Every structure is written in C-alpha cells, then in structure tokens.
A and B are shown apart, each in its own frame.
Chain A
Amino acid sequence: MIEIRNLSRLYGGLAVVDDVSLTVDKGQLLVLVGTSGSGKTTLLRMINRLVEPSAGRVLIEGVDTATLPPHLLRRRIGYAIQGHGLFPHRTVAQNIATVPRLLGWPRAQVAARVDELLDLFQLDPAAFRDRMPHQLSGGQAQRVGVARALAAKPDLLLMDEPFGALDPLIRAKAQADLKEIQRRLGTTLILVTHDMAEAVALGDRIAVMDRGRLLQDDTPARILTDPATPFVRDLIGTADRALRLLSLIPVAAIAVPGKAQGAPIAPDASLRDALAECLWSGREALPVEGGGIVTLDALRAQASQR
C-alpha cells in the first residue's frame, strides 16, 4: 500500500505539486491524469525520490521513503518512462538485468529471469536476448523497457507516459498487455498520462491533477458520470463520454435471458463493442456467447446520464 500524505514540491516559491494526498491499495492500478504542467510527473517522481518533496511524506507499506537511501529505494520500485530510456550500449538481456545485477542476484537466476520476462512480453528469448536496443522496433523497445522495470519483481511500478512514443495501433495492444500482466503479477501500478482515454482504459482509479492540485480521485465510471469540477469535465471531453462509459462495462453485466438472431458477442466484450455491433448489423439485440442477450434498449439505458 502506498500512502501519499500532504505532498508538496515548490520550485522558486511556486507549488508544482500542492498538498496532494492519495492512497493506492496493493495490486491497484492508479492513473494520474492531467495536462502538461499539472504536476503529475513531479508527483510520480517524488515517490521514488527522483525529486525530493518540499513537504509531506510518502509511505510504502508503512515505511517512510525518506528514511531509505534513494538508490536502495529505487531498486525496489520499477520505473518505466516515455521513450523507454534503454541503455544503448547494452544488449536487451543486459538492460533487463540491470536491477537484479545491482541487487547481486546470482548469474543463473538473472539469466532465467530475463528469459521469463521476454516470454511474458511475447519476445522470443533466443531471438531478442542479444539484440542491441537500436535493433528493436518502437513497440519492442517499449516492452523491453517495461520488462526491465519489472525485472527485480518490484511490488510497485511507476510509469511515466510509457506509451507516449507508440503509434495508436501498437499503443492499444500495449495497454491491453500491460493491464493483463499487471493483473497477473498483482503489482501495484501508478501510471502518468495526459490521455483520458488511456486513463479510462487502464485505471482501477483515476486521479485528475491540475496546477499541482488533486481535483478528483475516483473510479473511471464516477469520473465520467460525476466530474468534480468543470476542468475534469473538459478533460473527459463531453463528446464521447457516453461511449467511454460503455467501454468500462462488460456485456455480461447487463445480459438478460432471451433469444436473438445473428452472430453472438463475447461476454467480456465491452458494451461499447456491443453497441457498435448493434448499429453496424442493424439488430435490436445480440446473443451473448454462453446464453442470454444484450439489448439496444439496455445499452441506451447504461449510456444515458442517470
């Protein structure tokens, strides 16, 4: 569990992060959203003390991070950044092995861990182990960057715009993969982005920041349906918030008994997919795989402001 208590950072008397308090539970995925200059990155970098707080405390599992030497603290916390920051003179395997080697893991254990992670990120160890970073595509380099951050099995992972340098198609896949891996490993993850769509797609919780202050800290659904301030509403973008809301809910949640024509839809598909399918095929209801149907009326009810 991460507790951020009244954290502030001043630069020349100006508060870049202003009295922010947040708690992230174990295994949770929190997304920090804000425009550039909102203080979200500074807040993230205060957690592993790349920036020292001006005031306030960060507690990880009850331990005040200020009491630990910064480099030892950072070896316990995974860190992945935009543009991956891979070391260009080291192979993929050496890059991933960075923190385990700093921690003095035995050689065989490091090698096994590298292969395990390459497998996890769908990169064939035999083909990728000895490649240099410049021989990787953008998507591959990004995955190696995240693999490196996870190498020493940290309980906490910090990510700063990890998908910022990827093109949209690869980005959607990378997001889905990350969420899946985070679920499987049970890692607590704090991710910074300026992209509300990314925040809604990934977050268990979304914290919205503006000018150093925390405006709202809530579930994606609550952020969409009940924005705390006009700024949060603007950030969501009113045009497609109904669709974003639908994208959060699986079909199984509103399926009702019944029969419908045509190709069935998967129970874990989102309502947004179901709506798109209804509109595209001109149907009033879709059968759900494994029984039941989802109706257009039910979709409409879910999407409208309650």
Chain B
Amino acid sequence: MIGRILLALAGLVLLAFLIAPAPFAPLFQPFTRNGAPAIYAQTSLLSLTLSHLAIVAAAVAASTVIGLTLAILVTRRAGREFLPLARTVTAVGQTFPPVAVLALAVPVLGFGTGPTLVALFLYGLLPVFENALAGLTGQPPAVTEAARGMGLTPRQRLWQIDLPLALPLLLAGMRLTAVISLGTATIGSTIAARTLGEVIIAGLLSSNTAFVLQGGLVVGILAVLIHHGFQALESRARRRMGLE
C-alpha cells in the first residue's frame, strides 16, 4: 500500500516537473557551476520524454510481435526444428551491444530515430521470445490433453488455451524489454534520436551535473513506473488463474 502511494507520488512529481520545470530550478541549482542554467531548456523536457516513450513503445511493440510470432512458430509441429535457430538469432540480438548496433546501423539508416529503433528492437527480442516460449511450452499436461480431447483444433488451442495461459509470462518478458529499452534509448541521442539522452549528454559535454541528474532521474522514475505497471498487469492475469 505504502509502495503504491510512493509510486503515485513519484508519478505526480514527475508529471509536474515535465509540464512546468521552472519551479524545480532551486532544487538543481546547487549542482550547477559558474551560473549555468539549472534546467535544460534547449528542447521542452515534456516533448523529449514523449518522444523517448514513443521510441521505446515502438521498439517493445516490434520485439513483442516478432518475438511472440517466433515463439508460436517454433512451438508448432511444423516449426519445431527451427527452435535452435530462433534461439541463436535472439541470443545474438541480445549479445550485440546496442552501441555497436547504432554504429553499424548509421551508415545504412542514417542518423536519427531509425538506428535507435533497430538497436532497441534487437536488444529486446530475447526476453520476449524466451518468456513467450516458456509460457507456451510450460502448460500443465492435463490441460493440453483435455483441450485436445475436447476437440479443439490446433488453432483453437493456440488462441483459446495456449496464448491466454502464456499471458503472465509474456507480460513479464515485455516488462524486461521495456525497462531495458527505456535505459538503452538514452544512447540513441548520440546519433541524434530525440530521447532524454539528449539532456544527459548536454550535461556531460558542458560539465553541468544538474542536466545529467534531470535526465537520469526522469528516465529512472519512468522505468520504475513502467516496471510496476507491467507487474500489476501480470499479477492480475496470474491471480485470475489461481497462480498467486
């Protein structure tokens, strides 16, 4: 309960700060030197945050669609032999550092949002895929047996039984992907994607700790809120099935 109140409070403070950052200036003033501005004002913090969230949402959506589709395909009878291949592909996506992906993608896709999306998408594929896989394969044998015995077709089993039962684990995978992407998206600003990384990088370049703190805190609080949002969805889905 206390946790919820704290979360709501953090959310409200964040919202207030993004809409009207000026009143918060005294808080950040001690971290500036030589009369540098305490609040980043090159671009509106709100629009940077919205753009940051939009990039993360697009990347998570793409990771989820592709990761889940892959997991469904390799758990069907016809696709079973592609399981090792899919595992390798998604694992490579996770192994490859996003910075390296950014560097490699720029010559092809140019500067801006494109390469960032690609890097986040690849980085986020593994958690979604592995969790969806676990959700689709880890069902009680009696349930699968009953579904077949009742006369559900393979497609009906997928939509009516397998996917709903895999939902809590799928949501957990999306939560991991979202939180990882939220942090990783900041480095997108090194190649001119409009994210909160811009604030942090500006602070680092001008030795203005206040900017670094602002960028970091906004990303941090967003990550905590998103983490808990997904967790609430997960536990609702799990409670419905009596898993909690």
Residues of A in contact with B (beta carbons under 8 Å apart): 48, 50, 70-75, 79, 81-89, 98-99, 102, 132-135, 145, 148, 158
Contact = CB atoms under 8 A, between A and B. Distances in A.
B36 interface: no
Given A83-B142, A87-B143, A89-B164, A72 B151 contact: yes
Given A83-B142, A84-B142, A85-B146, A74 B165 contact: no
A88 B145 contact: no
A82 B148 contact: no
B242 A133 contact: yes
A91 to B, nearest CB: 10
A88 B165 contact: yes
Contacts of B213: none
Classify the secondary structure of B's interface with A.
Answer: helix
Nearest to A151: B150
Given A87-B146, A98-B150, 6 more contacts: A71-B152, A81-B146, A85-B142, A88-B140, A88-B243, A102-B150
A147 to B, nearest CB: 13
A244 to B, nearest CB: 30
Contacts of B165: 88-89
Given A102-B156, A134-B241, A48 B142 contact: no
Contact of B149 (A72, A81, A87, A102): A81
Interface in B148-185: 148-153, 156, 161, 164-165
A247 B148 CA distance: 37
B149 A132 contact: no
A74 B143 contact: no
B147 interface: yes
A87 B148 contact: no
A70 B151 CA distance: 7
B240 interface: yes
Contacts of A74: 148-151
Contacts of A86: 143, 146
B242 A88 contact: yes
16 contacts: A50-B145, A81-B149, A84-B146, A86-B146, A88-B143, A88-B165, A88-B243, A89-B164, A89-B240, A89-B241, A98-B150, A99-B150, A102-B152, A135-B242, A145-B146, A148-B150
Interface string B2-27: 00000000000000000000000000
Contact of A71 (B143, B146, B153, B243): B153
The 7 A-B pairs of least Cβ separation, nearest first, read A134-B242, A85-B146, A74-B151, A79-B149, A75-B151, A85-B142, A88-B241
Contacts of B242: 88, 132-135
B151 A85 contact: no
B81 to A, nearest CB: 20
Given A86-B146, A88-B165, A132-B242, A102 B151 contact: yes
Interface string B113-130: 000000000000000000
Contacts of B146: 79, 81, 84-87, 145
A79 to B, nearest CB: 4
B142 A82 contact: yes
Contacts of A158: 149
Nearest to B142: A85
Among A50, A70, A87, the most chain B Cβ lie within 10 Å of the Cβ of A87
Nearest to A79: B149
A34 to B, nearest CB: 19
B16 to A, nearest CB: 40
Among A73, A75, A88, A145, the most chain B Cβ lie within 10 Å of the Cβ of A88
Contacts of B145: 50, 81, 85
A86 B140 CA distance: 10
A84 B145 CA distance: 10
Contacts of A145: 146
A71 B151 contact: yes
Contact of B241 (A48, A85, A132): A132
